[in-house]
Chain A
Amino acid sequence: MSGREGAVVTVFLRSFLIQGAWNYRDLIGIGVAWALLPFRPRSEGGAALDEGAQLAVDAEPFNAHPYLSPVALGALARARLEGEEPGRTRAFRNAIRSPLGGLGDALLWSAWRPFCVLLALFALLLGAGPGTVLVLFVAAWNVVHLVLRLRAAVLGVGMGLRVAEGIRALRLPLHTERIAATGVLLLGFVGGGLLARGAPPHEGFPIGIAGMGLFFLAGWIGGAALGRRAPLLLLFLAAMATWRAIG
């Protein structure tokens, strides 16, 4: 395996643990320092390095979506292999963190994850069993996950500190938009399917469906600020339902 191929494999594998020491001071900085350990320089200009100082630089605050973190790791690893000057790598880190965070969050947390959930629910409404639903969700998610992570590692090592051009070529915002559009269609499918499942009415079902419609509308109007209250509402409703059942 060549140096670069080895770097891609190392970066790819270590990226799975990059959030292992997540904290409010460095964010994933410690994870970056750990992931770059195989690439740390042994000396500088013939003199022994202050390892502690080097690690402190590697561990400086940094954040990125974990699946896109191999872009940064790969670029930094290559910079190390080629003896790039520290000032350039520091500037690179500061410049790359926002796009790697924002693009990844929008694509994966805001679009792809809800899409996969809706896909699983749609399969469930069509009569798929638990095993099928589980496999569908996990497979759909992780195909994108692993391809993205690997591609990020190849891009980072391949392009080094010029990787910004490569990130643009991934066209992540376009994919995010497409997933969101398809997700809206799927959301409609799930809603229609849920309605169809209750077609022979049982007691309270029409009120239940009307209630869901009202809450859906409330969420649409209120947006994320209201949507964040959903877990608390669930706790309240479930506790109330349990209490009623006991009573």
Chain B
Amino acid sequence: MGVDPAGALSLLLLGVWVALDGTSLGQFMVSRPLVAGTLAGFVLGDPGTGLLVGAILEVAHLGDLPAGGARLPEPGPGAVPAVWLAVAAGGGTGVAAGVALGAAWSLLGGASLVLLRRLNGRLTRTVADGSSDPRGLALRFWGCLALDAGRGAILVGSGLVAAGYLARALPPGAAHGFGTGELLLLLPGALAAGALLRGWSPSRRRVLLLGVGAAGGLALGLVLGGGG
């Protein structure tokens, strides 16, 4: 599946928005892979695959705590080329390959954030040492934002190029629904969910709550028609 220039530009702009939303601009959670992936899926005409890839990436990063400059992967921008690859390659193979690309690009994204923050420090040094004026501060501030936008463009652009090569290298995937392959990819999410529960201070009461929830979810799922 190819992407027309308008589609490629849309994905690139989406990626820039996702990158900016992560830290610099607003933090409306567009930067989460669940959102970024689904939006990319809508652009490509396959929101279901976008949501699946985005959800797999999202649950693996459930425990990320971006507090005080912690150095973490950045899964949002990588979700955009990940979804493109998943849609282009198709089926379970496409989803696995897309998730692999998304996971790899999330590590690159995290590294690029560290570099960006160091550059921001250099760009704003004159403010910190008292030799700037208000106009200079504003220019340097907007310059930092422009750097982040550029970072997002490079990150997503390079991901789209990598996705293009990989899509041509992969065999056409067999179409199927949510199955064993996708369950394998949810193992990291299960690990993160267990850690999340631990962080939510499990006590006997909480274990009971978990059990009640599980029973409720199982019952509701069966009533609504499980499987698929």
Q: Residues of A at under 8 Å CB distance from B?
A: 16-17, 19-27, 29-31, 33-34, 37, 40, 50-53, 55-56, 59, 63, 66-67, 101, 105, 109-111, 113-114, 116-117, 120-122, 124-127, 129-131, 133-134, 137-138, 141-142, 145, 180-181, 183-200, 202-205, 208-209, 211-213, 215-224, 226-235, 237-239, 241-242, 245-246
Contacts and interface: CB of A to CB of B under 8 A. Distances in A.
Contacts of A59: 124, 127-128, 137
A52 B157 CA distance: 39
B25 A219 contact: no
B154 interface: no
B121 A25 contact: yes
A37 B23 contact: no
A215 B103 contact: no
Contact of A188 (B60, B107, B209): B209
B173 interface: yes
Contacts of A233: 60, 187-188, 191
Contacts of B211: 188
Given A22-B24, A222-B195, A184 B127 contact: no
Given A220-B194, A227-B63, A23 B117 contact: yes
A51 to B, nearest CB: 5
A24 B118 contact: yes
A66 B100 contact: no
Nearest to A56: B130
Most A CB within 10 A of own CB, among B142, B199, B228: B199
A230 B190 CA distance: 9
A226 B198 CA distance: 11
A23 to B, nearest CB: 4
A110 B199 contact: yes
A121 B195 CA distance: 18
A99 to B, nearest CB: 13
Nearest to A199: B226
B220 A196 contact: yes
What 6 A-B pairs have minimum CB-CB distances, sorted nearest first? A188-B213, A219-B194, A196-B221, A227-B195, A192-B217, A208-B183
A237 B188 contact: yes
A229 B191 CA distance: 9
Nearest to B63: A227
A237 B69 contact: no
Interface residues of B, number: 115
Contact of B121 (A23, A33, A232): A23
A186 B196 CA distance: 12
Nearest to A185: B213
Nearest to B110: A231
The secondary-structure label for the interface of chain A is: helix
A101 B67 contact: yes
B170 to A, nearest CB: 6
Nearest to B169: A246
B100 A235 contact: yes
Contacts of A208: 180, 183-184
Nearest to B183: A208
A209 B183 CA distance: 8
B219 interface: yes
B190 A215 contact: yes
Interface string B93-120: 1001101100110110000000001101
A37 B192 contact: no
B117 A20 contact: no
A190 B189 CA distance: 12
B134 A37 contact: yes
Contact of A133 (B38, B67, B68, B93): B38
Contact of B218 (A124, A192, A238, A241): A192
Contacts of B140: 21, 30
Contacts of A234: 56-57, 60, 99, 103, 185, 188-189
Given A192-B214, A230-B192, A246-B171, A30 B141 contact: yes
B55 A121 contact: yes
B180 A204 contact: yes
Contacts of A134: 34-35, 38-39, 47, 51
A52 B62 contact: no
Contact of B124 (A23, A105, A133): A23
23 contacts: A22-B117, A22-B120, A29-B128, A30-B124, A34-B141, A40-B134, A50-B130, A56-B128, A101-B67, A126-B224, A138-B28, A187-B193, A189-B216, A192-B215, A192-B217, A195-B214, A195-B218, A198-B226, A211-B190, A216-B190, A228-B64, A234-B56, A238-B100
